[in-house]
C-alpha cells in the first residue's frame, strides 16, 4: 500500500501566468518555471521515492526532469490535465461571458471531459496507486491534482473548486496517523 503520495504541480507556463485553461496544449515551461522546477528538486531531495510518475505533457515531464527525477520517472497518460475541449486556451472570465456561472468542477467542458469522466479517471489512477508500495511522487497539473485529492478523501469532484493549487507546489496525500485506513490530505499547496 502507498505510504504517502506527493503531488507536484508543474512549474509556470505562459498560460498559467495569463489564467488560460491549458489541457492538451503542450506548452513548455517559462524560464521562471524551469527555475521553479529546479527548486522543487532541492525541496524533494531528502525524500526517498519508490515510484515516480509523470504526465506525458512536457510541462510536467520537464518539471520532473529538472527536479532530478527524470531517469526514474514512468510516464502515466492518466496524469494528463483535464481536457478543456471547446474551452482550451480561454480564461474563466471569457468562458463566463458565454456561460454565466460556469465552473469546471461542476459543469466540465463541452467537447472535452465531463465531471464524471474526470472522477472515473482519478479513481482509476488512485486504484493503481493504492497497489504500489512505499512513497510515491506524481508530476501533473492543477485541475487534475485537485480532482485526485478530493477523490482520495472520498469527496465528489465538485469539491475540488475549494482547493487552490499554485504552480510548482507540493501537496501530500496520506493516512490518518491513528487509523491507517482513513485517507487524509496531509499537506496542501506548499511552496516552501
Please give the angle made by the CA atoms of 136, 140 and 120, to the nearest 5 degrees: 85
Burial class (CB in 10 A: 0-12, 13-18, 19+), 138: buried
Is 162 among the residues known to form the active site?
A: no
- Considering the candidates 10, 21, 51, 143, report the single residue annotated as catalytic: 10
Alpha helices in 12-163 (DSSP H): 14-18, 31-44, 58-66, 92-98, 104-107, 115-130, 142-152
- Considering the candidates 12, 65, 81, 113, report the single residue annotated as catalytic: 81
Q: What are phi and psi of 103, to 5 degrees?
A: -145, 125
Is 81 among the residues known to form the active site?
A: yes
Question: Which active-site residues does the annotation give?
Answer: 10, 81
Amino acid at each position: 500500500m502507498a505510504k504517502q503520495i506527493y503531488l507536484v504541480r508543474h512549474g509556470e507556463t505562459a498560460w498559467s501566468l495569463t489564467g488560460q485553461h491549458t489541457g492538451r496544449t503542450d506548452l513548455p515551461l517559462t524560464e521562471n518555471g524551469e527555475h521553479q522546477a529546479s527548486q522543487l528538486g532541492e525541496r524533494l531531495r531528502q525524500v526517498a521515492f519508490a515510484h515516480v510518475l509523470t504526465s506525458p505533457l512536457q510541462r510536467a515531464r520537464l518539471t520532473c526532469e529538472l527536479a532530478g527525477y527524470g531517469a526514474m520517472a514512468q510516464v502515466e497518460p492518466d496524469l494528463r490535465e483535464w481536457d478543456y475541449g471547446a474551452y482550451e486556451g480561454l480564461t474563466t472570465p471569457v468562458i463566463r461571458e458565454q456561460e454565466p456561472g460556469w465552473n469546471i468542477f461542476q459543469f466540465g467542458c463541452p467537447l472535452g471531459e465531463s465531471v464524471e469522466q474526470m472522477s472515473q479517471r482519478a479513481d482509476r489512477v488512485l486504484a493503481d496507486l493504492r497497489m504500489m508500495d512505499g512513497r510515491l511522487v506524481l508530476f501533473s497539473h492543477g485541475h487534475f491534482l485537485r480532482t485526485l485529492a478530493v477523490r482520495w478523501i472520498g469527496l465528489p469532484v465538485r469539491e475540488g473548486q475549494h482547493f487552490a493549487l499554485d504552480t510548482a507546489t507540493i501537496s501530500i496525500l496520506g493516512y490518518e496517523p491513528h487509523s491507517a485506513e482513513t485517507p487524509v490530505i496531509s499537506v496542501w499547496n506548499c511552496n516552501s
